Amino acid sequence: QKEVEQNSGPLSVPEGAIASLNCTYSDRGSQSFFWYRQYSGKSPELIMFIYSNGDKEDGRFTAQLNKASQYVSLLIRDSQPSDSATYLCAVLSGGSNYKLTFGKGTLLTVNP
Amino acid sequence: GAGVSQTPSNKVTEKGKYVELRCDPISGHTALYWYRQSLGQGPEFLIYFQGTGAADDSGLPNDRFFAVRPEGSVSTLKIQRTERGDSAVYLCASSLGLQETQYFGPGTRLLVL
């Protein structure tokens, strides 16, 4: 059973809209959560990390974590065509403080 | 260097051959990781080094895969008797230490014919 689940998409939004990307995880002991962006043919690039319940904002990006619901999300405000990429949710599981478990990723397309 | 580097960027080989993939981590990063990413999937953990030792190799698919990091910096992932199913992007990442952010290299795209 996959430990980290994401909607594979594709998710298509118009330029300027809010894109909402969701992720659920199965390990209740998970402590750290990461969002990576991956352009086609490129390696994953860290966008945000979050450790505590609630919201964490960085520019146009907001990560939201709800440990009770085992749910983490990424909101992208004022979406730009350059945001078009696959977004990977990654979890540092409770039993490990080094092994990242990734979801399959959600493909986001921002239409001009 | 400024980031994690990996060589070669692409490798095409024939079934049964031996390949070596190299990773040069960010200077000062003691932790090094190898992941494998197949098409349409997220990266999957292979092995983790803390310093020179492999602290966890539980993700290596079988004994054809082996990795070393003899001086605690550069690492080499070695694949013996390659199979077509080994075709994937092999990603290396490094971090300052445990629970620190992992930074990925550009990857090596391996194609086994």
Identify the pLDDT of residue B97: 85
Residue with tokens 């960027």: B9
Residues of chain B contacting residue A43, judged by C-beta atoms under 8 Å apart: 91, 104-107
Tens of pLDDT along chain A (112 residues) come to 558 999 878 999 999 999 999 999 998 888 899 999 999 989 999 999 999 999 999 999 999 999 999 999 999 999 999 999 999 999 987 666 788 999 999 999 999 9
B7 contacts B110 by C-beta, under 8 angstroms: no
Q: Which of B31, B42, B104 lies at the smallest CB-CB distance from A104?
A: B42
Q: Which of A32, A34, A98 lies at the smallest CB-CB distance from B31?
A: A98
A100 touches chain B (CB under 8 A): yes
Residues of chain A contacting residue B40, judged by C-beta atoms under 8 Å apart: 104
A 10 A CB-CB count for B16 gives 10
Euclidean distance between CA atoms A15 and B104, whole angstroms: 29
Identify the pLDDT of residue A94: 60
